[in-house]
């Protein structure tokens, strides 16, 4: 099965539900996700729990790794280190980190500008997406950004919708 079609794990589903619970009663008016299965699953959980629309933007997807498909750890983590360490080079045919970052930042700018509802939006995406976005928000070189500490996903950052400025760094969904 292609990586883009992998479903969210039970741990991921639980964390998405806990995250959604923490937002109940807030000002969230829409949820966005990529069109990849994990993000779709997580976005649907959050949107359903909050009773808000779930919108999809394929440009929020993880870096394109279709050239290799699945790579088992620990080799996968070695390739990821190369991806972040050499952002202008394609590692094993993967989309470059720089290209992915431009795509992701452009998508975030577009949805913040064009989202038809007022209030907060939630973007459910992927680890690489978050790290590339964080590098941009912190104004640091790709690979020098703060990284989430929660293993296996379940983290978020807070961004001001109007300025796309970083409000709060990585926060873990409490287990």
User: CA-to-CA distance for 6 and 76, rounded, in angstroms?
Assistant: 16
Residue 152 has pLDDT above 80, yes or no: no
* Residue-averaged pLDDT of the chain: 95
Say if CB 170 and CB 149 are below 8 A apart: yes
Q: Comparing 35 with 2, which gets the higher pLDDT?
A: 35
- What kind of fold does domain 3-64+101-172 have according to CATH? Rossmann fold (3.40.50)
Each domain of the chain, given as residue ranges in start order, spans 3-64+101-172
| Three-class DSSP category at 148 | coil
Residue 140 has pLDDT above 80, yes or no: yes
Q: Are 167 and 160 in contact (CB under 8 A)?
A: yes
Mean pLDDT score, 140-152? 91
pLDDT of residue 3: 86
Q: Per-residue pLDDT tens for 48-61? A: 999 999 999 999 99
Please, which pLDDT band fits residue 174 given cuts at 50, 70 and 90? confident
């Amino acid at each position: 099965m292609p990586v883009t079609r992998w479903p969210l794990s039970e741990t991921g589903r639980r964390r998405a539900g806990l995250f959604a619970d923490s937002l109940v009663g807030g000002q969230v008016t829409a949820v966005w996700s990529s069109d990849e299965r994990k993000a779709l699953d997580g976005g649907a959980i959050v949107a359903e729990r909050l009773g808000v629309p779930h919108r999809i933007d394929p440009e929020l997807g993880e870096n394109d790794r279709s050239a290799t498909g699945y790579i088992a750890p620990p080799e996968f983590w070695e390739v990821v280190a190369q991806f972040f360490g050499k952002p202008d080079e394609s590692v094993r045919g993967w989309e470059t980190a720089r290209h992915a970052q431009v795509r992701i930042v452009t998508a975030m700018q577009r949805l913040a500008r064009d989202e038809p509802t007022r209030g907060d939006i939630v973007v459910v995406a992927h680890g690489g997406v978050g790290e590339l976005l964080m590098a941009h928000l912190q104004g640091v070189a790709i690979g020098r950004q703060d990284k989430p500490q929660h293993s296996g996903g379940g983290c978020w950052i807070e961004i001001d919708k109007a300025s796309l400025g970083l409000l709060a760094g990585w926060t873990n969904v409490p287990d």
